[in-house]
Amino acid sequence: MSDLSKSARDPIAIAERMQRRRTRIFMIEGILFLVWQGIFLTNNEDPGASYRLVDWIRISGFMGWALVLLFLLATGGGFVWRRDVRELMRDESTRAHNRMAQAAGFWAAMIAALAVYVLSIFEPVTPSACMHWVLSAGIGVALLRFAMLERRGERG
């Protein structure tokens, strides 16, 4: 193999390693996010109660976590790497997987919103709990779908 080909392979090797790492992170984060929100939502909130400091910390933590995951979903991450590596990390199949994952997340969020709507007929649901359901379903499903598509692509 020519030297040109060897040198051209270098950023590809890095990008492939980073893609595999990203797949693992997204899979773990997706599972953790959904499991954590499940625990969070089993603690029924009193719709009339005011927020305590611990509630503010919990809600801020959730919002921060959700924002970080949304940002990773939108950008693909890898900002510590050179531009050529970052572009390879978001090559054509990855972008297609990202679009499919975002579509899956959208439908999961819509189904969660409908479920909460129905639930609200039978018992009071706080606005923050509604948002929690919708965000958790949308982000969690998108992360897991992306990780599954990427893993399938890596395995062939």
Partner 1 sequence: MADPALRNRLKEERARLGWTQADLAARTGVTRKTINTVENGVFTPSTVLALRLAQALETPVETLFWLEPGG
156 binds partner 1 (CB under 8 A): yes
Binding mask 6-25 for partner 1 (x = CB under 8 A): --xx--x--xx--x------
Buried b vs exposed e over 103-115: b needs ≥16 C-beta within 10 Å? ebbeebbeebbee
Quote the CA–CA distance of 109 and 135 in Å, as a whole number.
7
| CB 77 to partner 1: min, Å | 15
Neighbours of 102 (CB within 10 A): 15
Neighbours of 49 (CB within 10 A): 9
Binding mask 58-97 for partner 1 (x = CB under 8 A): ------------------------------xx-xxxx-x-
43 binds partner 1 (CB under 8 A): no
Q: In the chain, what's the furthest Cα-to-Cα distance?
A: 71
- Residue number with CB closer to partner 1 (16 or 45): 16
Binding site for partner 1 (CB under 8 A): 1, 5, 8-9, 12, 15-16, 19, 88-89, 91-94, 96, 150, 152-154, 156
